[in-house]
């Protein structure tokens, strides 16, 4: 089984990020008989795209032959793309990758069965790349 975790730097000790498509790296872990056999760190080229990050990140994940994604929130484009490819998505943000994999293997993680409400993609609609600091700025 191939499990992908959304990470900042990558590796088993890294913390899983709260966002799927904008994660700087993907940590891909090969698991056999509940044992970690291999770990690879992949740069997420989609994370810096001004738009379409969800679709591009989903394509990367599909090309890696992943069965499971461990992340935080997933937008509608990514959710539907991953689901259509038969990839299961589980909420694990804030956990170390190795801990999240252990919890997944023990059926202790919550499966994400719908996209995050309000995530519509694009700047100015729903959640963009900013932190909302300028939206309600008044003089």
pLDDT digits (tens, 9 = 90+) for 72-104: 999 999 999 999 999 999 999 999 999 999 999
Residue 28's DSSP bridge partners are 4, 40
129 in any annotated domain: no
122 in any annotated domain: no
Question: Is 91 within 8 Å of 110 (Cβ atoms)?
Answer: yes
CATH number for position 47: 3.30.420.130
**Which residue range is the domain that position 42 belongs to?**
2-111
pLDDT band for 117, please (50, 70, 90 cuts): low
Its sign, for the CA torsion 20, 21, 24, 27, is positive
- The span from the first CA to the last CA of the chain, in angstroms, equals 55
12 in any annotated domain: yes
Name the domain count of the chain: 1
45 in any annotated domain: yes
28 in any annotated domain: yes
133 in any annotated domain: no
pLDDT digits (tens, 9 = 90+) for 9-39: 999 999 999 999 999 999 999 999 999 999 9
Question: 87, 39, 29, 38: which is closest to 59 by C-alpha?
Answer: 87
């Amino acid at each position: 089984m191939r499990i992908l975790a959304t990470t900042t730097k990558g590796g088993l000790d890294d913390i899983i990020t709260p966002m799927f498509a904008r994660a700087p790296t993907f940590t891909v872990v090969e698991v056999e008989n509940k044992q970690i056999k291999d770990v690879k760190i992949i740069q997420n080229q989609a994370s810096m795209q001004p738009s379409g990050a969800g679709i591009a990140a989903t394509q990367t994940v599909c090309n890696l032959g992943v069965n499971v994604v461990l992340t935080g929130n997933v937008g509608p484009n990514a959710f539907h793309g991953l689901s259509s490819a038969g990839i299961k998505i589980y909420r694990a943000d804030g956990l170390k990758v190795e801990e999240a994999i252990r919890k997944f293997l023990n059926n202790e993680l919550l499966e994400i069965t719908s996209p995050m409400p309000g995530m519509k993609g694009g700047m100015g609609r729903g959640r963009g790349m900013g932190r909302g600091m300028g939206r309600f700025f008044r003089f």
